[in-house]
Amino acid sequence: MTHADLERMRSWADAKIATGEEPPWAWYQYMKLRETLDAILAGMASTRPMEGLPQSVPSEGRHLRLVDEASQQDSAQSRRDIVPIRLPM
C-alpha cells in the first residue's frame, strides 16, 4: 500500500467517526484503525531518506579482517592459568 492509500483510509475512518451514527463497537474499531494507520504513517515518515543529507561514503580501503586465536596475544588467559576443579561424586 502506498502512503496515499493509507491517508485515504484514515480519512474514511475519520469520516465514519465524525458522523456519530456508528454503534459503539464499530466506533471503537474505527478508532483502533485510525490509531494503527497513524502509527504506520509515522513509521513511514521516519524511515524516508532525508533530503540534503550526505549519503554514506564508501570507506577508503578499510575492511574487516578475521583474526585467528594465535594472533590474540594478551587478550585471553593462558590455559596454564586455569585451575582444575574437582567435583564431588
Predicted pLDDT of residue 47:
83
**Residue 69 neighbours by CB distance under 10 Å:** 7
Q: Convert 77-88 to b/e letters by CB count within 10 Å (16 or more is b).
A: eeeeeeeeeeee
Three-state DSSP string of the chain:
CCHHHHHHHHHHHHHHHHHCCCCHHHHHHHHHHHHHHHHHHHHHHHHCCCCCCCCCCCCCCCCCCCCCHHHCCCCCCCHHHCCCCCCCC
Give me the residue spans of the domains in the chain: 3-47
pLDDT in tens, 33-68: 999 999 999 999 888 776 666 666 566 667 777 777
